[in-house]
Amino acid sequence: MSRAAFIADQRASHRVPYAVTCRALGVSESWFFKWHNRPPTPAEQRRAEVDAAVAAAFGASKGTYGSPCVHGGLVTAGWRISEKTVAKSMACQGWARRVRKHRNGLTRPDKRKRPFGGLLKRDFTAPAPNLKWCGDITEIPTDEGKFYLATALALFSRRPLGFATSAHPDAVLAGQAIKMAVAARGGDVAGVIFHTDRGSTYTADDFTGLCARLKINQSMEAGRFVF
């Protein structure tokens, strides 16, 4: 950006008077107005056209394109322009690619553990109590940091039987939810199927051992499931 362009930008963007910026840069106001009132040079006109095209392409991508993608779109549209010029234009205009953030899920399988089979066969209904339960752990952001909610849901009533919260989404948390559900059912739930994802929380030795002692049959499927 030239000194004259900088002076003009300070007035347009920040409402700084021409006289103040001219004095700060050590140039006369007459010099600036001579530049300001003259017609644009071919290079300046080309730069303005490039800036407008880059801004339009970047806006059409909803801010997700970087300079390579913007450059590719302009070339396809017939522009003869380098990626370096596109990148410079984007930088001068303050355009930066907005990176899409993907929420990290809590389902992280333990490759050392073999997951249990899917006993429900995608049938999330139950004709009677204590036949099928489902469980999950949900991340809940708060002003004091993240905490996690583990649940055990009865598929017959569609109501939660047990739940627990903790700052850590581990096997202890999942076990607390199961223990509450078992207590709610009188302490004897032998044969019930407990269906979850294949996350390491549910394949951990502490949790699988608890289910074995309670005679709960674990069932798992990959990915999300609806019940």
pLDDT tens column, 105-142? 566 777 778 888 889 888 888 999 899 999 999 888 77
pLDDT in tens, the chain (227 residues): 567 777 877 777 777 888 888 887 888 888 888 877 777 778 878 888 888 888 888 888 777 778 888 888 888 888 888 988 988 888 887 777 655 554 445 667 777 788 888 898 888 889 998 999 999 998 887 766 788 889 999 999 888 899 998 888 899 999 999 999 999 999 999 999 999 998 899 999 999 999 999 999 999 987 554 44
- Give the Cα separation of 63 and 162 in Å (integer): 44
Domain boundaries, the chain: 3-93, 132-220
Angstrom CA distances, 218 to 41, 86, 114, stand at 75, 56, 12
- Of 188, 177, 76, nearest to 129 by C-alpha is 188
pLDDT at 154: 92
- Give the Cα separation of 128 and 93 in Å (integer): 64
- Give the Cα separation of 150 and 172 in Å (integer): 10
- Give the Cα separation of 90 and 36 in Å (integer): 24
- Of 82, 98, 93, nearest to 55 by C-alpha is 93
pLDDT at 102: 44
Q: Where are the beta strands (DSSP E) in the chain?
A: 132-142, 145-154, 159-166, 193-196, 217-220
- Partnered with residue 63 across adjacent β-strands are none
pLDDT at 98: 58
pLDDT at 167: 87
Residue with tokens 């050392």: 112
Q: At 166, is the secondary structure helix, strand, or coil?
A: strand
Angstrom CA distances, 122 to 23, 68, 117, 196, stand at 76, 44, 12, 12
- Give the Cα separation of 111 and 86 in Å (integer): 45
Superfamily of domain 132-220: Ribonuclease H-like superfamily/Ribonuclease H (3.30.420.10)
Long-range pairs, 107-110, Cβ under 8 A, ≥24? 107/197, 107/198, 107/199, 107/223, 108/199, 108/200, 109/198, 109/199, 109/200, 109/203, 110/200, 110/203, 110/204
- Of 213, 25, 203, 220, nearest to 119 by C-alpha is 220
Identify the burial level of 189 via C-beta atoms within 10 angstroms of its C-beta, where 0-12 means exposed, 13-18 middle and 19 or more buried.
buried
